[in-house]
Structure formats: C-alpha cells, structure tokens
Structure 1
Amino acid sequence: MRVLLVEDEPRLAETVRRGLELAGFVVQVAATGPDGLFSATEDRFDVIVLDIMLPGLSGYEVLRRLRAAEVRTPVLMLTAKDGDHEQADALDLGADDYLTKPFSFVVLTARLRALLRRGPARRDPVLSAGDLHLDPARRAVRRGTVELNLTPREFGLLEYLLRNKGTVRTKTDILRNVWDANYSGPENVVEVYIGYLRRKIDAPFGRTTIETHRGVGYLLRED
C-alpha cells in the first residue's frame, strides 16, 4: 500500500517514513506543497498524509486543488495546529481524518489502515488469482486453505503483482511502487524478492504463479 507523506520537517518526515515502511507501507515523501500536489495528481497512492503548514502551498490549498481535480485519495491531515476551526476547515475541504502533532505512531498507523478499509479496500476487499488470495485490510494471504506468512516487503510485492495480474511489470515499475520512487539501489533486489515469494506461494504447492519474461519483467498469471 502506497502512502504519500507531505511534510516539510525533515526529521519528522524521516521518522514517519521509516515507521510506516516497517509497518508494511511503501512511502514517498514530498517536502513542499507544490511537490505534494504534483505527486498526488501524477501518481497513484492509497492514502495521503498531508501537513497543513507547508512551503509554497498550504496543506489546505493542496487539498482544495486535489478535490477540485477529482482526486479522491483518502487524506489524513497532520498538523501542529489544534483547534475545532482548523479541524472543521480540513474536513470541509475534503479531508478524511485529522491528527495533531505530537501524535502516537500507533494511532497514526491505525487511522491509516481505517482509511484504507473505507477506501480502496472496501471497493476491492480481496485480491485473487486462482486459489491465491490476498486481503489488504487484514494483511492476510492464503493459498487455498493454507495461511501464508509474508514479510511486509513480500506482501507489498505480491499485492502489486496481484493488482496488475495478467500484465508484465518491469523491475522499474516494481521498484517505484513497492520500494520507493527515489530508490537508487541495485535492481536485482527485485529478483531476490521474487525468489522469496515463489518459495512461499508456489514451491510448496507445485504451482507457477509468477512468470519471468526475460529482458522485460514479471507477470502474475490470472489463474
């Protein structure tokens, strides 16, 4: 699940990014209002965490422009402001939730998961290919009746492939959507994690779910 974090305090942004990644999210960070607006309109995210006090454009203005552009991605406003009027303004502009700094990280992740259940997860609660099923809301994977234990990165990779089943995804596509838009490490990390997934979802069941298209990328079969 992809999160856009729009936050101009570098230390807080890095802390939240690391925490969310450990919780299984893929996080992209924008440090200004214009950068956040561009990312939110040009790319697909499952949820947006948006600060109010931002350089360039305020979080309020970013949110107003997103909703005017028919971008319906769930938005959680994250701000140092604490008051009924600020919360009311954010909700009136189209925010889905509001959290005041300082905040509990446990509460932040719980609220993000709640937004995801009300958003994309509600429209497409379970992703499947044949007898392979992935439930984004419960973060559960099973093959037939067998529950599978995946790491957060493996879960994110499988979710991305399932959402794009039947189409070949390049390593660049996978790195951008499962790792980070600014990932600069070796591309063979994708091959490594594809191998991990195959050993868990295919090998024990005698299946071939993920195909390698040499020189192109990977495809998750429809059934």
Structure 2
Amino acid sequence: MSVKGIRLLLVDDEPHIVQFLELGLLNEGADVRTASNGEEAIMVASDFKPHVVILDVMMPGMNGFEVCQALKATGDNIAIIMLTAKDETQDRVKGLRIGADDYVIKPFSFEELLARIQARLRNQFPNLLGEVVYGPFRIDDLRKELSYMDQVLELSPTEYELLKFIVMNNGIVLSKALILDKVWGYHFGGEENIVEVYIRSLREKLQDKEHRLIRTLRGSGYRMDFP
C-alpha cells in the first residue's frame, strides 16, 4: 500500500531522526512537513492540514502530550502516532487517553513506522488510499474497481460494496444482518434473502462454484477465505 500524496507532519527535536524519516517518507511519495517543537507543530498543522502527525513525546517547551491534545481539540480528522524513548506503560496509556491513535517506541525501524502509518490510513482515511491489495484481490476505491487475480470484475455498485466488505473482513464470519447493515444501510426495509442473491452472483463472477472463496456457515453467515 502506498502513502503517495498523503500529508505527513514530522515533529521531533532530534534533527537526525527528522532527516531520516523525512527522506524515507518522501521516497514513498508522501507530502512531508517538519517541525522541531510543539509550538511550531501547531502552526504548521493549521496551514498544512496533515492526515498523519508523527509526534515525539519528549520535547523542550510544549511536550508531545500537549501538542496531541491541541491538535485533537481542533476537530480535524488527524491520525497521531506518538514516538517515545520510554518503554513505560503509563506513558503509552496517557498518550492513548488524550487522543493519540498509536504509539511507537524508539528505536524503531522505518518499515515498522510505515506499517503503522498505513494502518492509520486504512482506519481513518480509506478513501485516500486508492489501490489496496488483499491477497488475490485489488480494491481501487477511487475508481470503484475490484480485481481478482489481476482481472477487473464487472460489478454493480452494490456488488462492489458487498465484495469489498467481505474481502476486507477476510476470515471473519459475517452475519446476514451485519452485511445488510454495512452494505445496504440501517434503514433497508427488504428481506435478508437479498444477501443470498448477491452472494450467488458474486460466486458466479469469481468462478467460485465450490464455495472455496466465499464460504457459507449455516446459521451464522458467510466468510471470505483466502491466504
């Protein structure tokens, strides 16, 4: 999954860490801004409107906890990942309680941080991701296209939303009631059997005659199964 075009703000008073992360994230295609202290971070965030903030806890003056509270208080949808050199549970709990979305302990690898960023994007900004790969499936939410084994499937809007939902929940049993709520909407007044009709159609398009991809669990619902 790419972070291309994602706005990222790096806040740390250690120049070598900022330089290391900035270079890596720029190479991944992100739009990056930096700040070396809390006050500067809040000013930059006000204009830059970052999707994700990588925020060091221990900084002179305004610390990371205070910056986190200030950024969350704006009401903007910002994912905040806090960095700390302290492997102390109380610091992690404090950060999460004041609104931090994730926590990374120094030292960490760039790959670990990138994975954390991608997880926050999936959770808070799914529409920004463009193509996302799940096993043999590729979901392009911007184009509303879903591919299986590199072949674009011809899907109706409802089929697209249904298949996307069960693919993203691979391995999880999904009841008909839950599927209706998430795909058709809470106010849908039709019968649960509509789910069976659409599942049958998807199986045909996936050539899943033996129901190995979309399994039926009698009395429970459906489960997508792929490695």
- 2:164 corresponds in structure 1 to none
CA contact (8 A) 2:51 2:77 kept: no
Deviation, 1:136, is: 5.5
**Corresponding residue to 1:4 among 5, 9, 16:** 9
- TM-score for the superposition, normalised by structure 1: 0.56
For residues 85-144 of structure 1, give each alpha carbon's deviation from its aligned partner in whole angstroms, at most 9, with x where no partner exists: 0000000000000001000111100110110111122xx267xxxxxxxx16559698x8
- 1:50 corresponds in structure 2 to 55
CA contact (8 A) 2:81 2:101 kept: yes
CA contact (8 A) 1:48 1:76 kept: yes
Write out aligned runs for 1:142-221 (5 A).
none
CA contact (8 A) 2:38 2:67 kept: yes
Deviation, 1:43, is: 2.3
Look up the equivalent residue of 2:55 and give its one-letter code.
L
Q: Relative CO higher for 1 or 2, CA cutoff 8 Å, sep ≥ 6?
A: 1
The reply on whether 1:113 has 2:122 as its aligned counterpart is: no
CA contact (8 A) 1:125 1:136 kept: no
- 2:153 corresponds in structure 1 to none
Q: Equivalents in 1 of 2:64, 2:25: separation in Å? A: 21
Unpaired runs of at least 5, structure 1: 127-134, 148-223
Q: Equivalents in 2 of 1:56, 1:136: separation in Å? A: 41
The reply on whether 1:87 has 2:87 as its aligned counterpart is: no
- The structure with the largest alpha-carbon Rg is 2
C-alpha spacing 1:72/1:125, structure 2 compared with 1 (3 Å): closer
CA contact (8 A) 1:113 1:137 kept: no
C-alpha spacing 1:136/1:3, structure 2 compared with 1 (3 Å): farther
Q: Equivalents in 2 of 1:105, 1:10: separation in Å? A: 16
- 2:65 corresponds in structure 1 to 60
The reply on whether 1:34 has 2:39 as its aligned counterpart is: yes
Unpaired runs of at least 5, structure 2: 1-5, 134-138, 151-227
- TM-score for the superposition, normalised by structure 2: 0.55
CA contact (8 A) 1:41 1:71 kept: no
Secondary structure in 1 aligned to 2:60? coil
C-alpha spacing 1:136/1:43, structure 2 compared with 1 (3 Å): farther
Percent of aligned pairs with the same amino acid: 36
CA contact (8 A) 1:17 1:27 kept: yes
Equivalences, count: 137
Deviation, 1:145, is: 9.5
Q: Equivalents in 1 of 2:22, 2:56: separation in Å? A: 14
CA RMSD of aligned residues (A): 2.6
- 2:108 corresponds in structure 1 to 103
- 1:172 corresponds in structure 2 to none
- 2:193 corresponds in structure 1 to none
For residues 24-43 of structure 1, give each alpha carbon's deviation from its aligned partner in whole angstroms, at most 9, with x where no partner exists: 21211101110011112332
C-alpha spacing 1:11/1:114, structure 2 compared with 1 (3 Å): same
Secondary structure in 2 aligned to 1:38? helix
Look up the equivalent residue of 2:26 and give its one-letter code.
E
The reply on whether 1:73 has 2:78 as its aligned counterpart is: yes
Look up the equivalent residue of 1:25 and give its one-letter code.
A
Look up the equivalent residue of 1:64 and give its one-letter code.
Q
Secondary structure in 2 aligned to 1:35? helix
- 1:187 corresponds in structure 2 to none
